[in-house]
Amino acid sequence: MTNVSTNPDHTFDVVIIGSGAAGLSLALQLAGQARIAVLSKGRLFEGSTYWAQGGIAAVIDPSDDLEAHVRDTLDAGAGLNHEETVRMVVEHAPACIDWLLELGVPFDRFENGAGLHLTREGGHTHRRVIHAEDATGRALEETLLRHAKAHPDIHLFENRLAIDLITARKLGHSDDRALGAYVLDRLSGQVETFRAPAVVLATGGAGKVYLYTSNPDSASGDGIAMGWRAGCRVANMEFMQFHPTCLYDPRAKSFLISEAVRGEGGRLLLPDGTRFMPSFDPRGELAPRDIVARAIDHEMKRLGLDCVYLDISHRPPEFITRHFPNIYRRCLELGYDMTREPLPVVPAAHYTCGGVCTDLTGRTDIPGLYAIGEVACTGLHGANRLASNSLLECLVFARAAAEDILHRPSPALAADLKTPAWDESRVTDSDEEVVVTHNWDEIRRFMWDYVGIVRTDKRLQRAHHRIDLLLGEIDEYYSRFRVSPNLIELRNLAVVAKLIITSALARHESRGLHYNLDYPKADPRLAKTDTVLAPDLDHAGFPPRVVSPDH
């Protein structure tokens, strides 16, 4: 391990933690006017963006209108959306699509080339989802990366896992602001210091807090946990979206069957071929994700099933292979021909609707610190995200944050706020890595069992007791041993689990993605009430305080 005095110290105008759609879009919006560092915890394309299948929602069809997109978003969000945020995002969507077309994102077009092909997904009343086959995220990520690599102002750092934010308060100053971050080089084991007057969390969500998830391994809630420890409020963490249809096969790790399959006529069936969604919602398979996921969960528990089935084999084979070539190819590799037979599917944790509280420019509670994309709680999604609004949110808030960063005066990094190097003088190498592995597995399992699609107060209290014990163990371990990628992610995962459990216990109703059997109805008095938690900065953020819903 390298001595602390030789650790690299990097200085930039902006440090962006995360290399997905939000982080890369922001970097490209800033390029030419700032020197930017983009940090990726693994390889540049390993985040959630790359694996996004569906598309980007935007009103570009003359038969559609902005008000319909607003209404659909508000309806899916079950009364918790901030309408000002929804309107901002929806109104800026067409311009974002134009920007992506200028960059060369290869969106699908009609066969005659007359215009962009639009599909429909659950919760949408119109066809408004722009897509690139069934791999929109990959097309978007590859295009953004190509432009970012070519720009001299953008410096890309792979295999850099952020450990914690550096703030003026942590250095003992009364006036707080972001100063940078301590970052682990996963290849060398060295801890580096990245300094900048503007720091952006674009780290994605926290799906890996659950045993079964559609998310890649990188989705361990790092940005939410770092923001919390730095002093940011978080909101609506009880609203974890479970995607209804992940392929049920032990060989298919986290393989998602796109929402668009249902949008193009896919039907959910029981093993005997009975269609069940119309019994739960008049929209059937096109109901919002929270309703579909709970319906599947209900049928699986009622009948003791391991899975249900998604069938689109009634559509022509050429239609299926043209619209879903990647899903078709992967399923065929595993022995499922979706042109001839239904696919076994189960729900899995998919999207974190809550996160670090921000305003409409991405600003957090700490001056100079921004949060954009899935890590943030902007008010767009409310109690349940509408399909294909996620990539859209990344694009719109990247543009808003870029404008704010460029036009808001930023203080220079003053000499009296010089950040110290990472200090490892009082820690040793661990000889008990099994503790990290065991705690990681335990958190993910009890979160799935006790804080999943359907909850009760008793289950939540059990989870609350377990996470408090584990947080103590993890904090002690963190204070004694050198950091490793697994330890950093476990520490963050435990913080996020605590925030989810605390938020779920605080909401005494069922709304959107939060369904509690002890409070099965929505409480009209809570229709506009977010669950906002504020950290206790004297005790590593805990216990959280439930504060005013206004954020």
The residues that are catalytic are 289
Tell me the sheet residues that pair with 357.
377
Q: How far apart are CA 281 and CA 279, in angstroms?
A: 6
Separation of CA 15 from chain center: 19
Structure tokens at 136: 């929109």
Give the helix ranges, DSSP H, for 199-340: 222-230, 259-263, 289-303, 317-323, 325-333
189 backbone φψ class: left, alpha, beta (φ>0; ψ -120 to 50): left
Evaluated on CA atoms 481, 487, 488, 492, the torsion sign reads negative
236 backbone φψ class: left, alpha, beta (φ>0; ψ -120 to 50): left
Block residue for tokens 């393989």:
255
Angle at which helices 390-407 and 136-150 cross, to 10°? 20
Using an 8 Å Cβ cutoff, are 145 and 24 in contact?
yes
How many angstroms separate the first and last alpha carbons of the chain?
A: 43
Using an 8 Å Cβ cutoff, are 473 and 443 in contact?
no
Closest CA to 360 of 409, 397, 402, 406: 397
Separation of CA 399 from chain center: 18
Using an 8 Å Cβ cutoff, are 391 and 274 in contact?
no
Count of helices and strands (H, E) across the chain? 14, 21
Q: How far apart are CA 536 and CA 134, in angstroms?
A: 44
Residue 330: count other Cβ atoms within 10 Å of its Cβ. 17
Using an 8 Å Cβ cutoff, are 204 and 373 in contact?
yes
Q: How far apart are CA 346 and CA 366, in angstroms?
A: 40
Separation of CA 20 from chain center: 10
Block residue for tokens 């899995």:
348
Give the helix ranges, DSSP H, for 241-369: 259-263, 289-303, 317-323, 325-333
User: Judging by DSSP bridges, how do beta strands 308-311 and 343-352 pair with one another?
Assistant: antiparallel
